[in-house]
Amino acid sequence: MSSHKHWYPAYVGIGSNLQGPARQIDEATDLLAEIPGIQLFSVSQKYRSAPFGGVEQPDFVNVVAALLTRLAPQDLLGTLQDIEIRQGRERNNIRWGPRVLDLDLLVYSDWKIDEPGLTVPHPGIGERNFVLLPLGEIAPELVVPGLGRVAGIPVNMDEPSVSRIT
């Protein structure tokens, strides 16, 4: 695992719609906070969202976590995937299907990365209200490379509804 000398800001989208979604998210954020080379400094409120992609399934619960990391982007992604597996995520071929846990690396500093298996910023940020709304809650002034300030990215009115869980 490679790490940097400096700390870099990163934002992670976390979602679940199986096996106690709110609990899954809480456990995932707890696990993130325990990883050496990661400092978790903010987590949005929870949002409920209708499933994306047309597969019949329960609603999702989503948050965005803000962190500082010394992990290289590829290593951070591997760490996120390890957390998914620890919590019972099974990868299958159903795109946008139900899942115990999904952690997406949304933004890594001001970097643009386009490699097999890793695209940063995440290509769905501007299209997915379940990412955009919680990200805007904790980092409205964040500049997403290629999209601009989070607060200036328009909400997608064609996407299924997203609401804050109180």
Output the CA torsion sign for 52, 64, 75, 59. Answer: negative
Instruction: Tell me what pLDDT residue 91 has.
Output: 65
Catalytic position from the list 102, 110, 114, 158:
102
Report, as ranges of residue numbers, the positions in the chain whose pLDDT lies below 50: none
Instruction: Tell me what pLDDT residue 75 has.
Output: 97
Q: What is the pLDDT of residues 68-108, one digit of tens each?
A: 999 999 999 999 999 998 887 776 655 666 889 999 999 99
Annotation marks residue 99 as catalytic: yes
In the three-class reduction of DSSP (H, G, I as helix; E, B as strand; rest coil), residue 164 is classed as strand
Structurally, what CATH architecture does the domain formed by 3-164 represent?
2-Layer Sandwich (3.30)
Instruction: Tell me what pLDDT residue 96 has.
Output: 64
- With tokens 């047309």, the residue in question is 54
H/E stretch holding 143 reads strand 143-144
Annotation marks residue 102 as catalytic: yes
Instruction: Tell me what pLDDT residue 95 has.
Output: 61
Closest CA to 120 of 77, 85, 56: 77
User: Can you state the angle between helices 73-86 and 21-34, rounded to 10 degrees?
Assistant: 130
Q: Where are the domains of the chain?
A: 3-164
Catalytic position from the list 30, 70, 75, 89:
89
Instruction: Tell me what pLDDT residue 152 has.
Output: 95
